């Protein structure tokens, strides 16, 4: 067998709400708790146990959820090597999302007051002087 066919998942079992036992074509198995890696916009929906249960094997022999979430089959096959990378990637995704959301939040109260003062000043400057 080649490495690509070794990574094919032939079946899986849900062991706990966010944990699957995977059985690969090369007769190996992996027990994976996905909870620590389900971070960021793309993977966060899998935290919902009802959605997580909707996992299926796709035609390539990989896990896939209804909205298209999936995982690298080599990573699943060699989970002890890749788990920490997925955890770090999830943390980076969450950090980036938090920065984005922080930048999109409305200005604080003091910034809003300043904006109103500037707006009023501009109105006074642009209005014609009464004669």
**What's the pLDDT at 99?**
84
Quick one: pLDDT band at residue 112, thresholds 50, 70, 90?
low
> Does residue 79 carry a pLDDT above 80?
yes
State the pLDDT at residue 94: 86
**Pick from 22, 78, 72, 71: nearest CA to 43:** 71
- Predicted structure pTM score: 0.72
Task: Give the integer Cα–Cα distance in Å for 93 and 20.
Answer: 23
Q: Which residues of 14-36 are buried (b: 16+ CB within 10 A; e: fewer)?
A: eeeebebebebeeeeebebebee
With a pLDDT cut of 70, the percent of the chain lying above it is: 77
Q: What confidence tens digit (pLDDT) does each residue in 6-64 have?
A: 899 999 999 999 999 999 999 999 999 999 999 988 999 999 999 999 999 999 999 99
Please report, for residues 13, 25, 43, 126, the alpha-carbon distance to residue 73 in angstroms, rounded to integers and kept in the order given.
Answer: 16, 12, 16, 64
- Using 50, 70 and 90 to split pLDDT, how confident is the model at 127? low
**3.40.50.20, 3.40.50.1100, 3.60.10.10, 3.30.2020.10: CATH of 3-126:** 3.30.2020.10
- Of residues 51, 50, 55, the one with CA closest to residue 20: 55
Write down the pLDDT at residue 117: 57
Q: Does 107 score more than 70 pLDDT?
A: no
Yes or no: say if 82 and 93 are a contact pair by the CB < 8 Å rule: no
Q: Domain segments of the chain: what residues?
A: 3-126
Q: Rg (Cα) of the chain, in Å, rounded? A: 25
């Amino acid at each position: 067998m080649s490495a690509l066919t070794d990574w094919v998942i032939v079946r899986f079992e849900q062991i706990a709400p966010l944990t699957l036992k995977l059985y690969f074509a090369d007769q190996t198995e992996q027990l994976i708790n996905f909870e620590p890696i389900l971070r960021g916009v793309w993977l966060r929906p899998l935290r919902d146990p009802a959605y997580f249960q909707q996992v299926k094997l796709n035609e390539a022999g990989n896990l896939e959820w209804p909205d298209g979430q999936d995982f690298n089959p080599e990573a699943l096959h060699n989970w002890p090597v890749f788990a920490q990378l997925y955890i770090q990637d999830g943390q980076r995704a969450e950090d980036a999302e938090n920065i984005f959301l922080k930048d999109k939040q409305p200005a604080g109260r003091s910034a809003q007051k300043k904006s109103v003062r500037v707006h009023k000043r501009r109105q006074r400057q642009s209005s014609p002087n009464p004669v």
